[in-house]
Amino acid sequence: MPEVICDALTPALDADWDALVQDSPQGSAFLRSDWLRMLAETDGARLQVLRFALREGVGRLQAGWALPVRPCCGGAISHHFEFFYAGPILAADLDSGAVRQASARYDALAALAAAVAARIDLIVAETHPSLQDLRALLRGPFTLVPVYTHRWPLLELPDVWTAMNRDKRREIRRASEQLHLAEDREADAVTAFIDLHRQVVLRFGQAPTRHWAEVLQTRIAWLQAHDGARLYAARDGAGKRRASVLVLLSREDRETYLWRAGFDAETVGLGTIPALYWSVAEALAPPSIGAAVDAAPWQWINFGGSPTTSLGRFKDYLGATPTLHFRLLHRRAGPPLWLWEGRERALRGARGLRARLASHRAPS
């Protein structure tokens, strides 16, 4: 019988784990051992990453699931992954769709789900869009919620432009004529990005702390040093940055991700963000239209989820393709969960108060 290993990022499993990430259709840079270890080491708040790996005998790993975990009252809570898609991953042959693999795929997912649910009291995790057959989790302790991301296919940008809302095309043309849109490699690029991003976070009713900024800056430095992220900025005629976006690069699934964005209030409604996103797409697309799929380092730009209807419609108007994936929820009633939920309510109240105070102090 296959064995599920629970591993707390010990180096001994790294080679086998990273081979699975490289092989799996659900694999991404975010699930590599070095990225996971970076998250744990830069968190500063007792974050631990657990890797659940399914191995049969002494062979390669068949499936895995990595989750960030925080201790709570003798239990474990996993409710937020800093990047994208912390769901199960399957070896390519197990996820091939072949009829002969259906039973093995079901058993692998069921075994992973049982092991994860037995160890962690609360799980909120989103699956990679390539994983659609999750029947094994329907009979277990998980609830599946359908959610959507939006994507641009980088090999078909002319078709995206044609499908885009006419007003958005007009906004992009106008903003592109008025702004300088390019990768931002200046020495102060990260600091400027964090300042712009902080403005957006404040507008969404949150109050970022100094620790938040320090952690973000440390992580961006690591990502850039490992060619895992690039910054792009929109500058006005005077050279002032009006918007900036941090793009994550995942060679494993050949996808790029619009991770975080920042912009000043004056740019809202001027087409700056659509123009910046479009310039990123053009910069990352293959140099020639119709290039072979295998020759293109990136095939998609992923916009991420849309917590509001208006944000989803904004992406629709940009001609992005809504793509189904799933949010996996598991709750095990008991003191760890109850304590965590009570603490989260208190923290939300405190953050709301800080945000209101910060908005009153901000210049009009």
Domain residue limits, the chain: 3-141, 150-323
Compute CA distances 92 → 23, 89, 95, 101, 298, whole Å. Answer: 6, 9, 5, 11, 19
- pLDDT tens across 94-119, in order? 987 777 788 999 999 999 999 999 99
SS3 77: strand
| Cα-Cα end-to-end distance for the chain | 65
Across the chain, what does the average pLDDT equal? 90
Q: Which residues contact 221 (CB under 8 A, 6 or more apart)?
A: 190
Contact 63, 89 (CB under 8 A): yes
Q: Note the pLDDT of residue 355.
A: 56
Compute CA distances 159 → 18, 276, 285, 319, whole Å. Answer: 35, 18, 13, 9
CATH of 3-141, one of 3.10.450, 1.10.1060, 3.40.50, 3.40.630: 3.40.630
d(CA 274, CA 194): 20
Say if 3-141 and 150-323 have the same CATH topology. yes
- E strands in 134-228: 143-153, 180-183
Q: How many CB atoms lie within 10 A of CB 63?
A: 26
d(CA 78, CA 256): 25
- pLDDT tens across 50-88, in order? 999 999 877 899 999 999 999 888 889 999 899 999 999
CATH number, span 150-323: 3.40.630.30
Report DSSP state, residue 145.
E
Contact 247, 259 (CB under 8 A): yes
- Cα diameter, the chain: 66
Distance of CA 256 to the CA centre of its chain: 10
Q: Which residue, among 220, 290, 214, 297, has the nearest Cα to 253 in the 3D structure? A: 297
SS3 159: helix
- What's the token pair of residue 19? 């081979």
Compute CA distances 330 → 9, 19, 73, 93, 281, whole Å. Answer: 23, 28, 18, 28, 36
The count of C-alpha atoms lying within 13 angstroms of the C-alpha of 297, restricted to the half-sphere facing its C-beta, is: 9
Strands 48-55, 255-263: pairing kind: unpaired
Q: Which residue, among 126, 21, 20, has the nearest Cα to 78 in the 3D structure? A: 126
- pLDDT tens across 235-253, in order? 999 999 999 999 999 999 9
Q: Note the pLDDT of residue 342.
A: 81
- pLDDT tens across 201-233, in order? 888 777 778 888 999 999 999 999 999 999 999
